[in-house]
Amino acid sequence: MSKPHLLVHDAKDSVGVVVIEGLTAGTEMLCVVTHDNSDFKLTAKHDIPIGHKVALGDLADGETIIKYGEEIGKMIASAGKGEHVHTHNMKTKRW
């Protein structure tokens, strides 16, 4: 297997985390689900920094975000599949 671009912790997650430096828009990412070591492909729609999240499907404003199989926040603006998810469009439950 090639080196993954994106890690997803649980099959129920709605976002994954970029694990490489310099991910650019248009990259076909190798995505690995760590729970069962399965993989899939997803195209990055933006340049996305390492450690930031990517939408695994279309996410609507107000939708609950799942990461690690747990609710971590809500969307405050929509994001399409493969788009960057961060503080500009998601509010964490911690704050």
Is residue 8 within 8 Å of residue 34, measured between CB atoms? yes
Is residue 75 within 8 Å of residue 90, measured between CB atoms? yes
User: Does 8 score more than 90 pLDDT?
Assistant: yes
Chain centre distance of CA 7: 8
pLDDT value for 2: 84
pTM for the full predicted model: 0.93
Question: How many C-beta neighbours within 10 Å does residue 74 have?
Answer: 15
Q: What is the CATH number of domain 6-92?
A: 2.30.130.110
CA gap 20, 3 in Å, rounded: 9
- Over residues 32-71, the pLDDT tens digits come to 999 999 999 999 999 999 999 999 999 999 999 999 999 9
CA atoms within 13 A on the CB side of 55: 23
Radius of gyration of the chain (CA): 12
Domain ranges of the chain: 6-92
pLDDT value for 42: 98
